[in-house]
């Protein structure tokens, strides 16, 4: 039990130090919508079983996505990190 507390404390300390070295530059809402057709390239047989290629696809009538994005930029670099919280329905 004590080992778990020490590991968790170390993880939280390292995480808080790395986040404090970055600046939150922008945030925003993410909205997405669409539709589509998903297929996969399957072989004729898989593990000795015949694969029905005519049913190896997924038709999606509608896709809706909603989320929020946080963009962090470390100091003195041109790179950035995005953290997205995204939920969707298809």
Max CA-CA distance within the chain? Answer: 57
Look at residue 38 in the predicted model and tell me its pLDDT: 67
Which helix (H) or strand (E) element contains residue 2? Answer: helix 2-20
Cβ partners under 8 Å of residue 52, min gap 6: none
d(CA 50, CA 67): 41
Tens-binned pLDDT, residue by residue, of the chain (90 aa): 777 888 877 766 666 555 555 566 778 899 988 877 666 666 677 687 777 766 666 667 788 899 998 888 877 777 888 888 999 887
The span from the CA of 5 to the CA of 13, in Å, is: 12
Whether the model clears a pTM of 0.85, i.e. scores above it, the answer is no
Residue 79, H or E segment:
none
- What pLDDT, in 10s, does the model give residues 21-36? 556 677 889 998 887 7
């Amino acid at each position: 039990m004590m080992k778990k507390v020490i590991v968790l404390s170390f993880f939280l300390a390292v995480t808080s130090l790395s986040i404090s070295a970055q600046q939150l530059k922008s945030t925003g809402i993410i909205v997405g919508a669409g539709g589509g057709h998903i297929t996969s390239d399957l072989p004729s047989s898989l593990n000795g079983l015949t694969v029905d290629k005519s049913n190896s696809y997924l038709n999606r009538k509608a896709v809706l996505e909603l989320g929020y994005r946080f963009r962090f930029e470390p100091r003195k670099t041109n790179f950035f990190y995005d953290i997205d919280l995204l939920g969707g329905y298809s």
